Structure 1
């Protein structure tokens, strides 16, 4: 990914997560720099959605080999995703669902058993969205870089 794309991805993440920051939830994506974006996508696969030459959605997939530091993520066969965002002006159009579907298909093609994510336990709307997509509660995690308790959600990728 080139420097301009990293800057655009960072702006998108900052804008998309600003609503959570306004609610007092300090998601890393709400304030991260380009350097943090670069570090967070290193060794991962980032997908982006474009509309009229503007980046309007993104999601980053981490294969099971990338250790993430919580019990569930450390399990064999568990992939995860993060940095999932849709620009506020383009929400409710299905862009995020398409990006998530692509990541789920990628995970299945890699033979991943479970695909997981974490989010703030107080982000009720997000948790409901993921539950409608088939994700279930696994555990709570306290990351030292946020000001909230997280929930880890996961979905079986194998039948």
Structure 2
């Protein structure tokens, strides 16, 4: 439990319907990705509905950052073999991070770092995970820079059917 710049105490916990509903989680993702959508980048999380959120976290270890009773951030970890959308994700020992977002008013205050720390620690404890990978838009320089500072390295480009940009796949060894 930490405090971030004068905000209420924050807790990072596994998502549970008792903590918040899927609509609230979807709202956080939509708001978190709004700035990227305003840059013209069509991330699915910027406009997905609750059924897509539920589908995307169904087989994931989904964490939420709670400020009191309110979800203010989220991140999901997908074990090896559960995300098969590109060649790199299909490799043995590759876990994938996704559905990562923090409400705009808390971005830049360290909550995203805490969420990444927690999910990387979780992945490190998994026997079958050697690396964690993620993807973001090629034009999202600020995100690529943030991930690179955390040790993520460029792997490949992928052009997903559901987006309007080329994605950068990045990966980090955790063993």
The bucket for the TM-score relative to the shorter chain is over 0.9
TM-score of the two chains, using structure 2 as the length reference: 0.87
Q: C-alpha distance in 1, partners of 2:137/2:83?
A: 20
Aligned pair partner of 2:159 in 119, 142, 147? 142
1:96-135 equivalences under 5 Å are: 96-111=112-127, 112-135=129-152
Aligned to 1:68: 84
Runs of at least 4 residues off by over 3 Å: none
Aligned to 2:111: 95
Aligned pair partner of 2:99 in 83, 105, 111? 83
Encode CA deviations 1:6-42: one digit per residue, 9 max, x unaligned.
1111000000101111110000000000000000001
Q: C-alpha distance in 1, partners of 2:92/2:100?
A: 23
TM-score of the two chains, using structure 1 as the length reference: 0.96
Q: C-alpha distance in 2, partners of 1:67/1:116?
A: 11
Question: How many residues matched?
Answer: 158
- Please list every run of 5 or more consecutive structure 2 residues that lacks an aligned counterpart in the other structure: 1-15
Aligned to 2:17: 2
- Please list every run of 5 or more consecutive structure 1 residues that lacks an aligned counterpart in the other structure: none
